[in-house]
């Protein structure tokens, strides 16, 4: 028995909510896990968990130990990662959090090349709610700029800039009236991103406003792009988001000089008392790649 193994086992049990699920995650048996917990409680001289045949409850002492040990074990794991970074191979788990649209359409296009460059880094991509505050369980939290966040605990750095414009499938443009002015856009069908309201008011550069309306709305970015490729209507998005479709001529720009104001995507990561190698590698990689895809005005 050792402190790190037993503490990590206890942390996993608390997070999984049961011995069976924790044992499965740690690739061990429930009986082996139970022995580790008993050893830990004996060493500490307190009860960490109240266990019955149906329920598992964390005691007050267990809650305190969980909060402190989770941070310490994470620090230990990152210290090991930092040590291995001096070698030719860098490994470990990189936990990323991003909204669905950012994760599925933007990050994935970068992650393939990042994984190829660092094959021993395992990536976990977690979907977060837009506007959600950073989560300490994640190594990197990717989001639009958050105006209110705990700057004493997190560092924010800009990953990339983008500006939304109009795009459509060639088939849609061939079968619908020609678009030569912004005003004509209001007569076309739009595929809207959101949960409700088939009319949306959007602001563009030089304070120009357009009321967009359409017969299809969704919060699924893949469905939105697929609908545009199928010729259902126009979409308002960034060139980075639909790079694949643009490269294959599945979508083309419409009035390319008409853009929304520039926005930015930021990476938030916890302030740590050691150098987090995987986080730095990932952020530097995305910044370098994004620099070659900045929007042209």
Each residue of 259-284: pLDDT tens digit? 999 888 899 888 765 557 888 889 99
Report, as an integer, the average pLDDT of 122-134: 82
Whether 246 shows a pLDDT value over 90: the answer reads yes
pLDDT tens digit sequence for 14-53: 888 888 888 888 888 988 888 999 998 999 899 998 877 6
Of the listed ranges 137-141, 209-213, 233-237, the one predicted with least confidence: 137-141
| CA 188/CA 46 separation, integer angstroms | 68
DSSP alpha helices (H): ranges in 158-273? 170-174, 182-185, 221-229, 243-247
Structure tokens of 45?
A: 């001289």
- For the segment 149-161, what is each residue's pLDDT rounded down to a tens digit? 656 778 888 988 8
Locate 26 and state its tokens.
Answer: 């740690």
pLDDT at 81: 63
Whether residue 88 is predicted with pLDDT greater than 50 in this model: the reply is no
The full length of the chain comes to 297
CB-based burial, 86-108: b 16+ in 10 Å, e otherwise: eeeebebebbbbbbebbbbbbbe
What DSSP line would sit under 104-146, residue for residue? Answer: IIIIHHHHHHHHHHSTTEEEEEEE--TTPPP-TT-SEEEEEPP
How far is Cα 105 from Cα 142, in angstroms, rounded to an integer?
A: 13
Rounded to the nearest integer, the mean pLDDT of the chain is: 85
Asked which of 5-19, 139-153, 216-230 is least confident by mean pLDDT, the reply is: 139-153
Q: Strands 121-127 and 92-98: what pairing?
A: parallel
């Amino acid at each position: 028995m050792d402190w790190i193994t037993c503490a990590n086992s206890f942390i996993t049990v608390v997070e999984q909510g049961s011995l069976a699920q924790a044992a499965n995650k740690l690739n061990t048996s429930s009986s082996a896990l139970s022995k580790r917990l008993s050893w830990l409680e004996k060493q500490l001289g307190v009860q960490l968990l109240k266990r019955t045949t149906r329920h598992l409850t964390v005691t007050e002492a267990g809650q305190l130990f969980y909060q402190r040990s989770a941070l310490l074990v994470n620090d230990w794991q990152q210290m090991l990662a930092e040590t291995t970074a001096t070698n030719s191979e860098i490994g470990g788990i990189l936990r990323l959090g991003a909204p669905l649209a950012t994760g599925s359409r933007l990050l994935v296009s970068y992650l393939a090349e990042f994984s190829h460059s660092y094959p021993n880094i395992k990536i976990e991509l977690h979907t977060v709610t837009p506007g959600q505050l950073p989560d300490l369980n994640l190594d990197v939290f990717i989001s639009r700029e958050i105006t209110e966040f705990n700057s004493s605990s997190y560092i924010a750095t800009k990953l990339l800039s983008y500006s939304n414009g109009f795009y459509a499938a060639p088939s849609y443009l061939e079968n619908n009236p020609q678009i030569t002015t912004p005003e004509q856009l209001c007569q076309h069908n739009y595929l809207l991103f959101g949960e409700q309201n088939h009319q949306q008011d959007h602001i563009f550069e030089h304070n120009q406003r357009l009321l967009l309306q359409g017969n299809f709305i969704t919060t699924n970015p893949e469905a939105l792009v697929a609908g545009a490729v199928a010729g259902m209507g126009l979409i308002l998005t960034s060139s980075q988001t639909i790079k694949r479709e643009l490269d294959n001529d599945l979508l083309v720009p419409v009035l390319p000089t008409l853009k929304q104001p520039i926005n930015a995507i930021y990476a938030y990561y916890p302030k740590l008392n050691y150098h987090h190698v995987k986080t730095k590698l990932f952020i530097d990689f995305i910044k370098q790649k994004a620099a070659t895809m900045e929007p042209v005005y």
